[in-house]
Copies of this chain bind each other. A is one copy, B any other.
């Protein structure tokens, strides 16, 4: 197979009148990438004017296996053609049974994990809402400890756990029952923020109430690709246990291989009580979310948390196919490791060239370009070259690379070339302007 490595963007703007007339102003990505897309496969998206774009955004890590992977696509088309159950609330279906059995065989058992699966409404925020509900129910406590720069969703319970002020401000009511403590490295290399947390929880006059849960991302996706160290995460797990709180790892963005393994916490020496998953779980971008927890924690009453679309059978089908295809042996993890190393080398080099720093882990990495304005200049330049890439961080100052994990090494390199060049022009231009 010949690998196509070069994007071919179009410059003409499509007609957007229908969006302006009928779609809410809340839309965001469409503003920075004003094309109308009509087709996608693998790492490529196509617009309706013949353009081809390399996708380094991957639906914010929802398309780890690329767009419309042929194996997943075939499984889904077969299922639909055979009138498989599409919607069945939480009724037992062949698709659900297959998914649960595959999850057990391919993921849980080889990793020695014993979790029960709760199919929440098929969005990440819903999985988080279910996780913190369960933690509050079990502990009888109300406070959840989340972290600076954490992002966990937009419904009121998950939004309270989210750090971003603009998102929080949308609530229109005060967001309660959550405290945000400093994440690993938040106060610089000399302050161990696990120590700070331990001290506050051990002090009956700290004003920090006993928590139901500690909710943490191992790498903060929206918060700027901050990667916590295994030591720190282990400390947090110990602190949770000692203080009677449940440890919840929100693996919605960092899981499903993004950081190198299926779960982002593998090999770190601790096991979360609860894990939330979504994004790449269905494999093909279909809505799907999962809250996993230790069997002893499964104290839900029937229907205590429910949702119309909690059994998205199309997603069961593609998720099952994805688990089997990618996670049945070690090949995929080796590919991710190699590509992650390539990505790391290239980003480090770019950072070194401009005196910048990099962030992240595995195939979830970015470069801190200092400001949201510079970052936007860079991503706009990339897009003009046919590279779809976005930013994250408190000030949108991190240019993040979330390429599909299945990307060919050559294509990854080609995309990084575009990024490298765009950074160079942006910073040169910026410095140039600044120097005048």
A19 and B100 in contact, given A39-B85, A60-B308 (Cβ under 8 angstroms): yes
25 contacts between A and B (CB under 8 A): A21-B104, A22-B115, A23-B116, A37-B92, A40-B88, A59-B88, A59-B308, A67-B83, A77-B77, A86-B284, A123-B126, A123-B308, A129-B154, A129-B155, A137-B170, A142-B174, A148-B200, A155-B157, A155-B158, A170-B305, A172-B212, A175-B209, A203-B394, A205-B394, A287-B309
With beta carbons under 8 angstroms apart, the residue of B14, B86, B314 that contacts A40 is B86
Asked whether A279 is an interface residue with its Cβ less than 8 Å from the other chain, the reply is yes
A29 in contact with B90 (CB, 8 Å): yes
Q: How many residues of A contact B (CB 8 A)?
A: 154
Q: Which of A177-185, A230-238, A412-420 lies at the binding interface?
A: A177-185
Q: How far is the CA of A148 from the CA of B203 in the complex (A)?
A: 9
Contact B85 A40 (CB under 8 A): yes
Q: Answer yes or no: A33 CB below 8 A from chain B CBs.
A: yes
Contacts of A40 in B (CB 8 A): 83-86, 88
Interface string of A110-126 (1 = CB under 8 A from B): 00000111110111111
B173 touching A155, Cβ below 8 Å:
no
Q: Which 10 A/B pairs are nearest by Cβ-Cβ distance?
A: A87-B285, A136-B172, A180-B207, A156-B157, A155-B155, A205-B394, A28-B303, A163-B207, A26-B300, A24-B118
Q: Is A341 an interface residue (CB 8 A)?
A: no
CA distance in complex: A100, B173 (Å): 31
Q: Known: A39-B84, A121-B125, A148-B203. Is A116-B173 also a contact (CB below 8 A)?
A: no
> By the criterion CB–CB under 8 Å, are B100 and A87 in contact?
no
Interface string of A136-180 (1 = CB under 8 A from B): 110000110011111001111110101111111111111111111
B179 near A176 (CB under 8 angstroms)? no
Whether A421 is near chain B, meaning CB under 8 Å from some CB there, is no
A237 to chain B, nearest CB (A): 21
Report the separation of the CA atoms of residues A327 and B122 in the bound assembly, to the nearest whole angstrom: 28
| A330, CB-defined interface residue at 8 Å | no
Write out the residue numbers on chain B whose beta carbons fall within 8 Å of the beta carbon of A195: 187
Find out whether the CB atom of A38 lies under 8 angstroms from the CB atom of B285: no
CA distance A191 to B284 in the complex (A): 47
Contact B170 A133 (CB under 8 A): yes
Q: Is the CB of B146 within 8 A of A207?
A: yes
**For residue A20, which residue of chain B has the nearest CB?**
B116
Q: Mark A35-58, 1 if CB is under 8 A from B, else 0.
A: 111111100010010000000010
With beta carbons under 8 angstroms apart, the residue of B137, B158, B224, B302 that contacts A28 is B302
A24 in contact with B163 (CB, 8 Å): no
Is there a chain B Cβ closer than 8 Å to A301's Cβ?
Answer: yes
Q: How far is the CA of A302 from the CA of B30 in the complex (A)?
A: 10
Q: Taking the full assembly, how many copies of this chain does it contain?
A: 4
Is A82 part of the binding interface, using a Cβ–Cβ cutoff of 8 Å? yes
> Does A325 sit at the interface, judged by CB under 8 A?
no
A36, B92: Cβ atoms under 8 Å? yes
Q: In residues 175-234 of chain A, which contact B (Cβ within 8 Å)?
A: 175-180, 182, 186-187, 190-191, 195-196, 199-200, 203-210, 212, 223-224
Question: Are A204 and B92 neighbours in the complex by a CB distance under 8 Å?
Answer: no
Q: Are B97 and A18 in contact (CB under 8 A)?
A: yes
Complex contacts, A84 vs chain B, CB 8 Å: 38-40
Contacts of A278 in B (CB 8 A): 308
Residues of B within 8 A of A245 (CB): none
Residues of B within 8 A of A150 (CB): 207
Cα distance A100–B85 when bound, in Å?
27
CB within 8 Å for A73 and B80 given contacts A156-B157, A174-B177: yes
B125 and A24: CB pair below 8 A? no
Contacts of A129 in B (CB 8 A): 154-156
A305 and B154 contact, CB distance less than 8 A: yes
Contact, CB under 8 Å: B298 / A25: yes
**A395 part of interface (Cβ distance < 8 Å):** yes
Instruction: Give the chain B neighbours of A38 by CB distance below 8 A.
Output: 84-85, 93-94
A26-B302, A300-B24 are known contacts. Are A14 and B308 too (CB-CB below 8 A)?
no
Contacts of A286 in B (CB 8 A): 86-87, 309, 312, 314
